[in-house]
Structure 1
């Protein structure tokens, strides 16, 4: 509601309190779950509350309803705890109000009329903005859209990228399983290992030593599409937080890498190995035809990572998608002059919207001379690597590799 990101807000909250890993996990599950189900919870509450509420009172209703309806906590236990908390912190009148609303909402929820129009109904049942549902129904049809919304509303898996120069995936897998972490192997890359719970992983000594990082498997594919070799001069043109830059270093330590971003604070640990530059891709300071390869992981709508960042679906507006697309085309055009003929431009976004993916490539054909190369070996599609969450179970992601012809 204040425009922040869930992960950063949670980290700030946890840093001020002494909580166990189990307590942090519960707080995060409830917080992220309430954000996921916000539209449904608002719709339910609106049937029983016709006056303005203070944000903290509305939040108490959301959290209590989420615990009963989605975490399957006992009704009487949640209501009693919520009322007791409200009585201590907000006074008896608010406690009585919450008690009445919660009991009515939980008793009458199944009798409330849903909209007859299918997309309006889906917006409430699946708790997504109606404009997103209409957009995706137009692309995928109603049944596949419901599948997409379902996967985006589930608790995410997290993928680790293992530094194979230091340990094998099998060694890391055995290590984590010995500590009670449930894992599964990635299907696309040998560095990818999935885990169900992130908390134990972030406190693991191997994470602190940098032997693995958290990075989705499709995102890991970007450095492989660059295909760095010894002596190659590579520009990572929107580098922060440095995850892909670090991966390029691991794949080829003898490559020469320039990492540029408007914000470089998170890139500073890479300074001994790469050249850091605070700069703007659109107005970059580089000479023409200087780089062998350019990587642009472009700013985007981020609709492909809603599963991990559910706040995105409430922050984005329909006009954001074409706005980002125009910016993305401009970034590629500006950087194109810095690429040598015969060099490769790798373009990626954590989105599956046509305007930000295939349409960007088609718009660039009007201005630039290039051929498309498969960014990865099988199972890449004909010309792109495209991850749709309801088909891959992974983040939504797009990756293209363009060879400069002249």
Structure 2
């Protein structure tokens, strides 16, 4: 009988809690006592197993069910089998190890289920692993079907189809080949509290092994498991944010001492990034931010105080779709030098970081009767445009890979009466781009399409794992 690895036991326990509580896996990993007791290496492995099993859950379940005479499995058995199937299909764990550990993981929760687990996992290894390998070869060649992309990327067929339409077959294939890789671990040093060397020293002292990237203030962590416990995030010494989000914040950041409006503040991460970028460009701006949900506004306000930005950032509970009205709160009245619309979206560019999205997002979440996501995005975009002063800039950003939430929204806005005074500009011609060091300029340039709009996933690679963010910059006529 094989000895079960602590990482697999911890991952199975977290998966069971995710299912019972309908909670986010990453949130439960942070508070799991069994995970906390693991060595750093095992903690990273447990995280990989947990997030990967959630990310591929629908694809794995379809394969498991195809090998069962009846599709019902005791829930804890399914949790265990998901981990082992993930290892066989996407993590390249040696087959004997994945099989023996999988059987023992099932035996732990259902002793009588060990035989069934052995039979099912052998069929996954003998039938599904070769089928996935063949599909991957077709995707690598670019001569593939949408079904191949869905299998390789562990996505619902409808979403794979949407990505092909949105990105084109070549980019969709590239996305699929890296879709199941672990997300990058990035933070931004808080330039309002520390210079870059100080931020790096704080991270090093916490054992997180930081390394500077070509983007100012952006660090990648080679041992990120202890970030939450370090206290650096709670104290706002650093800001956890994918490098892609930091690129968008840099290009959309306000010039020093100007007035900026941020629409869709959330919990304040982008606000912190915007001000840190402004500080690195010469000085802080006056940032007014709006967010519909009052509890998020309270979180943001507290974060700004901890970050040393209480005098520079205001946080207001307000509906961004009403920014075109005349009677506005004082903090967001009048015109602004720059406006960023960080629009609510499907989140399809952050599937590696937020694994629940892939199989919880329904087609109806993008196409619904009444006000769809694209309709909400356009309404917010149009309302926010009325707050841009003459000669000012208007930025539209999402973390979606879907064209109907990105390029199509920009086109619809420019074709509308409210878009008549705006024109699309390439990030290449902006002062923010000019302020980047040459290596960062080269990286950002690879993200900009022929249409002048930016998709960070164009630069995604195994060496530089990035979320998929979209940005369009527009200039208001004088």
For the pair 1:245 / 2:271, whether they are aligned, the reply is yes
Give the alignment of 1:283-294 within 5 angstroms: 283-284=322-323, 286=328, 289-294=334-339
Aligned counterpart, 1:373: 425
Q: Name 2:11's counterpart in structure 1.
A: none
Equivalent position SS for 2:417: coil
Q: CA deviation at 1:83?
A: 4.5
Name 1:332's counterpart in structure 2. 381
How far residue 3 of structure 1 moved from its aligned partner, in angstroms, is 5.7
Return the alpha-carbon distance in structure 2 between the equivalents of residues 24 and 165 of structure 1.
Answer: 32
CA distance in 2, matches of 1:231, 1:242: 20
- For the 8 Å contact 2:253–2:275, the answer to whether it is kept is no
**Secondary structure, in 3 states, of the residue corresponding to 2:219?**
strand
Aligned to 2:241: 215
User: Which residue is equivalent to 1:296?
Assistant: 341
Which piece of structure 1 moves more, 311-320 or 327-336? 311-320
Q: Hey, what's the Cα distance between the residues in 1 that align with 2:385 and 2:458? A: 34
Deviations along 1:307-365, one digit per CA (max 9) or x if unpaired, are 22222121223344453222111001122233333332222111232222222111111
Separation in 2, partners of 1:17, 1:184: 26
The 2-side partners of 1:72 and 1:337 are apart by 53
Alpha-carbon distance between aligned partners in 1 of 2:59 and 2:229, rounded to the nearest angstrom: 35
Deviation of 1:30 (Å): 0.7
Contact 1:228 1:248 in 2 (8 A): yes
Q: Distance in 2 between matches of 1:305 and 1:84?
A: 33
User: How far off its partner does 1:385 sit?
Assistant: 4.8
Q: Which residue of 1 aligns with 2:114?
A: 95
Aligned residue runs from structure 1 range 181-330, under 5 A: 181=208, 183-187=210-214, 189-204=215-230, 206-229=232-255, 231-250=257-276, 251-252=278-279, 255-263=285-293, 264-269=297-302, 270=304, 272-273=310-311, 274-284=313-323, 286=328, 289-321=334-366, 323-330=372-379
- Does structure 2 retain, via aligned residues, the 8 Å contact 1:151–1:390? no
| Alpha carbons 1:304, 1:350 under 8 Å: kept | yes
**Cα distance in structure 2, aligned partners of 1:93 and 1:248:** 56
Deviation sequence 1:39-91 (CA, Å, 0-9, x none): 4423431332131223322222111232345445565555555545544543x
State whether structure 2 residue 385 is matched by structure 1 residue 355: no
Normalising by structure 1, report the TM-score: 0.84
**1:193 offset after TM fit, Å?**
1.6
Partner of 1:64: 84
Distance 1:76 1:235 in 2: 57
SS in 2 for 1:203: helix
Larger relative helix fraction: 2
Residues 5/80 of structure 1: CA separation in 2 closer, same or farther (3 Å cut) = same
Equivalent of 2:181 in 151, 154, 157:
154
CA contact (8 A) 2:248 2:469 kept: no
**TM-score if structure 2 supplies the norm length?**
0.73
What SS does structure 1 have at the residue aligned with 2:397?
Answer: strand
User: Does structure 2 conserve the Cα–Cα contact (< 8 Å) formed by 1:218 and 1:395?
Assistant: yes
Match of 1:64, SS state, is helix
Instruction: Note the C-alpha offset of 1:179.
Output: 6.6
Could you tell me whether the CA contact under 8 Å between 2:374 and 2:405 is conserved in 1?
yes
SS in 2 for 1:303: coil
1:106 is matched with which residue?
125
Distance 1:37 1:168, change over 3 A: same
Shift in CA distance, 108/237, structure 1 to aligned 2, threshold 3 Å: closer
Establish whether residue 20 from structure 1 lines up as the match of residue 50 from structure 2: no
Q: Is the 8 A contact 1:238 1:261 kept in 2?
A: yes
CA positional deviation for 1:29 = 1.0
CA separation in 2, counterparts of 1:144 and 1:383?
16
* Alpha-carbon distance change, 361 to 118 in structure 1, aligned in 2, over 3 angstroms: closer
Question: What is the aligned length?
Answer: 403
